């Protein structure tokens, strides 16, 4: 005699929970998006109401964009030093690899990733200018 208990199948229970969770998350996401309304105010009047003038945005070394420009240059300098360090480490791994293919691959990978990093650093001012409209 077998003792058989009718339990729900594990796969159907899991898929049912996944479906309920998906529907719940979709409903919550849609209700959040419906509740938030993008600002439709004029940009110039919003800046004026906040006390921000054109001279405080564009003029002098104490301006907002002047400070942002300094931060971009600092990040570029730190990233450049970091990239040079990794190019040196990659060169050391490559030169010390001998016939070990894993070390040779690690060295080439470090040099290639550092080279991509140098390019991103080179374009950092353009990227920041695109994101915040500070660059030309």
Taking only the tens place, the pLDDT of each residue in 87-115 is 999 999 989 988 889 989 999 999 999 99
Q: Mean pLDDT across the stretch 77-91?
A: 92
d(C-alpha 65, C-alpha 60), whole Å: 9
Domain ranges in the chain? 62-136
**Largest Cα span, the chain:** 91
pTM for this predicted structure: 0.47
DSSP string for residues in 56-109: HHHSSTTSHHHHHHHHHHHHHHHHHHHHHHHHHHHHHHHHT-TT-HHHHHHHHH
């Amino acid at each position: 005699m077998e003792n058989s208990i009718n339990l729900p199948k594990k796969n159907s229970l899991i898929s049912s929970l996944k479906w309920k969770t998906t529907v719940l998350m979709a409903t919550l996401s849609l209700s959040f998006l419906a509740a938030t309304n993008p600002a439709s105010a004029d940009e110039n009047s919003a800046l004026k109401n906040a006390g921000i003038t054109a001279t405080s945005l564009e003029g002098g070394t104490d301006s907002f964009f002047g400070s942002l420009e300094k931060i971009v240059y600092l990040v570029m300098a730190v990233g450049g030093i970091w990239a040079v360090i990794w190019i040196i480490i990659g060169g050391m791994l490559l030169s010390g690899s001998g016939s070990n293919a894993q070390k040779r691959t690690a060295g080439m990978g470090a040099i290639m990733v550092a080279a991509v990093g140098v390019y991103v650093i080179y374009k950092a001012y353009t990227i920041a200018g695109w994101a915040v409209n500070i660059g030309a």
